[in-house]
Amino acid sequence: MNKYRNLLFALSFAVVFFSALVIGVVIGMKYHYQAARVPVVNAVQNAVTPAGEKLNTFVAALRTMYVDTLNVDSLVDDAIVDILAKLDPHSSYIPASDLEEVNSQISGNFYGVGIQFSIQQDTVNVVAIIPGGPSEMTGIKPGDRIVNVDDSLFVGKTITNERVLHSLRGENGTKVRLDIKRNGVDTLLHYTITRGKVEVKSVDASLMVSEDVGYLRINQFGATTYNEFVSALARLRDQGAGKFIVDLRDNPGGLLDAVIAMLNELLGRGQMIVYAEGSNYLRSDAVADGMGSFQKYPVVVLVNEFSASASEIFAGAVQDNDRGLIIGRRTFGKGLVQQQMDFNDKSAMRITVARYYMPSGRCIQKHYKLGQQTDYYLDIYDRYNRGELYNKDSTLKADTTKYYTTHGRVVYGGGGVMPDIFVPRDTSYYSAYYNKVFNLALPYQFAYQYVDAHREQLKNYQTWQQAESALKSDKVVEKFVANVKQKHGFAPTAADKKCMAELQRWLISYIIRDARGDKDFFSIITRDDKTVKLAVEKLSDLGVVVK
């Protein structure tokens, strides 16, 4: 039973990750691979085949001949989904209702009111205000609760994340009225907000983790990621960084253009970044032009089993060119490239058009069978069951063909990027209580409630270290345990003592994030991260600091 509980906790992130993986590696909007894209698009536009004529006749017959009234458009959508389900695991159909949300993940912006929110006790709570967004200009504050939207009640069991996004996002320049309940104010506050552009950041954190090592955490590869990446590197260099850690753990991928441009900053002239090729897709190579500003700086890349697609291109190019070390666990294993095709009804299809290959010639796409997508995504369970997340020797090499890096080191394809240095998952603090509270998201809820009750006090601390010390003195872990006991009816046992220090670390981190922002949050997280510590240690062996 404990093993099962641990599996649930270890894989709790998987549902969100696989939803995000629809991003994949998507051909971008700039100059890369344009020559290869044209034949693909033209082929679709110009193709008139017997099969196509048959489908057109079939749909026309349904519209004009069927005995009852049909929603033919809905049937066509279902048919497209069913056909794509028989192909590879990454070809997908995106309904019109979802396309804006999906595209915003890689476009780097969307139009809305500009808040981060959390639904607690059937109410939308404002967790943070996105800098530069419309809400910042109108005076909405963290801790506010949205009660009405456009004069309609907006609380209760029907409130979901999807409904909130649908209500608060919209076309640029449109207005939405929010009625707000604020602590300490007896009456509702009324705001009319004009929706505007809201920037989506790809670089979650950029900070110094030692005297000369800068750290960047990238959550995806979108249209703005390259600029964010270069700006963050430059800022860290100005702060004294001569070596860098690029953290791609849990990064599901994104735009091919973005990752190519980023790698161009690190690799020397003529070094291969990646190439792509398919049956109907002319081979196209991406090669560094030698103009990058960070070619000589030592680099370590952090990856894990949820690093996929564009993340794997980044790690694979660094590894195959012997540009730096890869530390962590075997990556997801997605080596397929999708191209998005938009339909007239504002839905879209992302269809796999090519495989991408690392500089050594390997493709890191893991094995799949056409139409068996469930088995494909359950691969992570197989990795867990055979102990791969905890023991390097249990890692399965789907492709035993040997490929060679620039310096002659052996690498393999067929199932992700194998790190140069393996770091197992740390389960030393796992316990039944720890797993249960996180699976129920109770630490996140408690952190928000705590901040809501101590918001002004937490703002007064000059540094996150002062806030951390105060939270320890306030015994937040004991308060959390009492809160869980009162509201949910369970408590830790003697066997759960081993998890309390780790639980305290996360509680304090979440509280500080909600009160002070992401930078302080990541300052705590990276300080105690064993993989980051190992990366700092290994960087000391990777050459002289470049100034």
Q: Which residues are catalytic?
A: 309, 320, 334
Which among 252, 367, 225, 396 has a CA at the least distance from the CA of 312?
252
User: What's the start-to-end Cα distance of the chain, in Å?
Assistant: 54
| CA-based torsion, 166, 168, 174, 180: positive or negative | positive
Order of strands, sheet of 325-328, starting from the edge strand that comes earlier in the sequence: 203-208, 213-218, 243-247, 299-303, 325-328, 421-422
CA trace torsion 408, 414, 415, 418 (10° rounding): 0
Residue 92 phi, psi dihedral angles, 5° rounding: -150, 155
Q: Which residue has the tokens 């081979």?
A: 283
Query: What gap in Å lies between CA 495 and CA 499, rounded to an integer?
Result: 9
Residues making up the chain, counted from first to last: 547
Q: Long-range contact list for 122-126, CB < 8 A, 24+ apart?
A: 122/155, 122/156, 122/157, 122/159, 123/147, 123/155, 123/159, 124/154, 124/155, 124/159, 124/164, 125/448, 125/452
Give the Cα separation of 55 and 42 in Å (integer). 20
Q: What is the DSSP letter of 221?
A: B
Cβ count within 10 A of residue 101: 14
Residue from 292, 297, 418, 423 nearest 358 by CA: 418
Handedness of CA 186, 188, 193, 198 (dihedral sign): positive
Residue 510 CB burial class (10 angstroms; 0-12, 13-18, ≥19)? buried
Q: Which helix (H) or strand (E) holds 535?
A: helix 530-539
Specify which residues 119 forms β-bridges with: 124
Distance CA 446, CA 432 (A): 19
Residue with tokens 């660094």: 318
8 contacts 435 by C-beta, under 8 angstroms: yes
**79-to-66, 72, 270, 346, 525 alpha-carbon distances in Å:** 17, 10, 46, 17, 46
Phi/psi at 166 (nearest 5 deg)? -65, -35
Q: Are strands 421-422 and 325-328 parallel, antiparallel or unpaired?
A: parallel
